[in-house]
Chain A
Amino acid sequence: MAERKLFKGNEAVAEAAVRAGCRFFFGYPITPQNEIPEYMSRRLPEVGGVFLQAESEVAAINMVYGAAGAGGRVMTSSSSPGISLKQEGISYIAGAELPCLIVNMVRGGPGLGGIQPAQSDYFQAVKGGGHGDYHCIVFAPASVQEMVDLTIQAFDVAERYRMPVMILGDGILGQMMEPVAFPDPVPVDAALADWATAGARDGRAPRLINSIYLRPDELFRHNLKLQARFDEAKIAEVRHEAINTDDADIVLVAYGTTSRVCRSAMDRARAAGIRVGLVRPITVSPFPYQAIADVARTARAFLTVEMSLGQMVEDVKLAVCGAAPVHFYGTTGGVVPTSSAIADEVRKIAMAEVGK
């Protein structure tokens, strides 16, 4: 590990991607993630890579498709309205079994919405987003350092499962500065994947990157194959952090920026004598259902906190499966919940559910 440097979240993601061997970036400007393409436009040429500003998010994600299909380590980044435009391409990338990284620095919606942080793209990110039966692996970092660490891992994970990986950040994570340590650049295996279409050289048979299967039985088998890979990821890639859950009566569940506010709220509540814990999903797809189910064996109640009007809470309810009441507190439109508001909610739940 090198020395720690002060880095803005967006630029940290970009630098981490370069160190992970990403050499191709296709994007389109949108606030609050512009520092990513701007950084890449400076940095990628230094390492022999290519930055290209596309004519639209639609074109950018299809450039990612072509580049990934040709064997390139490739990424794009955007924010909510732009991610909506990319959904067509993400569906094709998933269908064609191509690895890539997509960064979403989420802002408030729907529509043009606002440019302040939000978590209202959760459903879109973890339940598919585009058309068809597929999943992305979605990381939800909560600090600039974690964005670096997860970005570094994202490319390997995408290539292992041959599916798109998304970093689900938000405007705060992208814009804030924190000290980070970058790992040394990883040597990238120069050998092309055995499915990449970079020309049928040396007498090999031609290859095809494709997502069309007109025969229902073929598409059935294809989709089962995609699902089987995601099932492997459910076993090997689910990540979460549990804090103070062993003795907790009330367990907060939050990811990303909101989880940081929840930690403060947890400390406040603990200081007031309420035993509060926190489960923080680090992968929101696949979701840490089992970790939450385990906590539900002893917890008296859950409180899901999101910068949305209630999206992840549905997965928390699936995980808790009726073992305890699941409450929700959310803010929307770019408003960040305060730790005092969350602590108030915790107190109300404690009065009602725990009796103190």
Chain B
Amino acid sequence: MKQVYAVPKALQPRATHYCPGCTHGIAHKLVAETIDELGVRDRTIGVAPVGCAVFAYDYFDCDFQQAAHGRAPAVATGIKRVVPDAVVFTYQGDGDLASIGAAEIVHAAMRGERITVIFINNAIYGMTGGQMAPTTLLGQKTTTSPAGREPGHAGSPIRIAEMLATIPGAAYVARVSLSSPANVARAKKAIRKAFDTQLSGAGFSLVECLSTCPTNWGMAPVEAMDWLESNMIPYYPLGEFRTPEGGVSNG
């Protein structure tokens, strides 16, 4: 019988604490598969954020450091400068990366820090219970924007991938979606390319993964996937915004 699927070696074979329908599991799997493919598990150091993925180290089977809220790119910088041959990745949500850690991510990109950032954008704070994120869509209701995000009061959602793509040190910047098998396959390619970018020494790499949060969105998992595709993708277009070759492909 042909084996068509196995748990990646870079993942520990255990159940996660993530909610049903949450896309963190998909993102973890794609990162772990990439580490397996590259054969770098024994020199990979992950950096966990503050947020739902704070316990990512419980699932990945590699060295890990847990960082203060938003500081993962700075922690990763410290690791990479001490162990230049290590493969260092951060795994950060939108509150962590786009709000409190905005300075750290911009400057890690500016320095062309040879790290890979997996950026989970689900347009909401998950672990704290569904507050407004910088990436919350206009009109989206959260526990701190109960009438819906209003631009005159809370500004408009920030497009991280496009912003970071303006920075010369950012060698690879892409946005993918974890909302369908086809999109997941594209996400896998982007994550592989991001790690390849780090290994080649070309510079900073980031993959923004549009993700769902059924619990805090108040939706069933399938409904959440539909909501992502019909609401998030129009505002957050998918594609590569910067590649080491200089090419850009949207859509």
Contact = CB atoms under 8 A, between A and B. Distances in A.
A binds B: yes
B81 interface: yes
Given A199-B43, A200-B62, A210-B57, A63 B67 contact: no
Interface stretch (A53-61, A266-274, A308-316, A331-339): A53-61
Given A50-B81, A201-B42, A66 B65 contact: yes
Contacts of B63: 197-200, 206-208
A89 B69 CA distance: 10
A245 B45 CA distance: 54
B83 A70 contact: yes
A89 B77 CA distance: 14
Contact of A208 (B44, B57, B76): B57
B71 A71 contact: no
Contacts of A324: none
B156 interface: no
B41 A200 contact: yes
Nearest to B60: A206
Contact of A209 (B62, B65, B86): B65
Contacts of A89: 68, 71
Contacts of B75: 62-63, 65-66, 69
A50 to B, nearest CB: 5
A92 B103 contact: no
Contacts of A69: 65, 75, 78-79
A208 B77 contact: no
B65 to A, nearest CB: 4
Interface string A19-62: 00000101000000000000000000000001010111011101
Given A197-B64, A206-B62, A208-B63, A24 B71 contact: no
Nearest to B44: A199
A248 B227 CA distance: 80
B107 A54 contact: yes
Contacts of A67: 78-79, 81-82
A212 interface: yes
Chain A interface residue count: which class?
A: 35 or more
A187 B60 CA distance: 36
B107 A197 contact: no
Nearest to B48: A210
Q: Secondary structure of the A side of the interface?
A: mixed
A210 B44 CA distance: 17
Contacts of B82: 24, 50, 66-67, 70-72, 74, 198
Interface in B82-98: 82-83, 86
Nearest to B55: A212
Nearest to B72: A62
**Most chain-B CB neighbours within 10 Å: which of A59, A71, A207, A210?**
A59
Interface string B90-131: 000000000000011011001100000000000000000000
B171 interface: no
A70 to B, nearest CB: 4
B165 interface: no
Nearest to A205: B61
A52 B66 CA distance: 21
A351 to B, nearest CB: 54
A89 B42 CA distance: 27
Contacts of B44: 199
A88 interface: yes
A68 interface: yes
Interface string A204-229: 00111111100000000000000000
**Most chain-A CB neighbours within 10 Å: which of B64, B65, B110?**
B65
B190 interface: no
Nearest to B69: A88
A70 B54 contact: no
A88 B71 CA distance: 10
Given A199-B63, A201-B43, A74 B78 contact: yes
B164 interface: no
A55 B45 CA distance: 23
Interface of A: 24, 26, 50, 52, 54-56, 58-60, 62-72, 74, 88-89, 92, 96, 197-203, 206-212
7 contacts: A52-B111, A70-B45, A70-B78, A74-B78, A199-B42, A200-B63, A201-B42
Interface of B: 41-45, 47, 54, 57, 60-68, 71, 74-83, 86, 103-104, 106-107, 110-111
Given A62-B68, A200-B42, A209-B65, 6 more contacts: A24-B78, A65-B75, A66-B77, A72-B78, A207-B64, A208-B65
